[in-house]
Chains A and B, each alone.
Chain A
Amino acid sequence: LAKTTQPISMDSYEGQEVNITCSHNNIATNDYITWYQQFPSQGPRFIIQGYKTKVTNEVASLFIPADRKSSTLSLPRVSLSDTAVYYCLVAGNTGGFKTIFGAGTRLFVKA
């Protein structure tokens, strides 16, 4: 299973764009890259998923370079409520979609 590496923590201010980069050097051909958000006392929640290039939804954008060995989650104009832990995960059907969580990135958004 591909291991992921992310910064342990990041600080930002309201209204700023936040980019969290994740490295996954041994990603497999059929692995997808998925980002989750977790608030205290809640289960992780899906944010965005991609395979290659760029994906955008109403919450975030995901940038994946051609070699797929890293990915960047972009949160536009963060607010205080975006303070959470963000997990980058890679998984595919070869591994039965068994998903191993890394340490995640604790994002603190300040007023």
Chain B
Amino acid sequence: SAVISQKPSRDICQRGTSLTIQCQVDSQVTMMFWYRQQPGQSLTLIATANQGSEATYESGFVIDKFPISRPNLTFSTLTVSNMSPEDSSIYLCSVIPGQNTGELFFGEGSRLTVL
């Protein structure tokens, strides 16, 4: 299993600003992902955070808007850049502690509101 801590848990931001979300895991994990969940919707995969290299982004998400860092196997950050109200969402960090079956563990999420 894995325990995931995300910071901040929630924030209210002004349009045009940027916010960095941190994800800390209590153990080393190979696979780490960032998801977005808009109100009343399912989760959308933003990117796979790769340790020591550039993240792999899903269609519709770009590095300039959502830069991701993964300096080691226990930590990652996601920045939401130049925010607009459409970026208001919950951002979730998830990991797969073991590689055999792909069971995902999630943090509690970071709820962003952009005014």
Contact = CB atoms under 8 A, between A and B. Distances in A.
Interface of A: 32, 34, 36, 41-46, 49, 85, 87, 91-93, 96-104
Interface stretch (B62-70, B74-82, B94-102): B94-102
**Chain B interface size, under 10 / 10 to 19 / 20 to 34 / 35 or more:** 20 to 34
Q: Is the interface of B mostly helix, strand, loop or mixed?
A: strand
Contacts of A32: 101-102
A74 B51 CA distance: 38
A17 to B, nearest CB: 25
Given A96-B31, A97-B96, A45 B106 contact: yes
A99 B43 CA distance: 10
B53 interface: no
Contacts of B111: 41
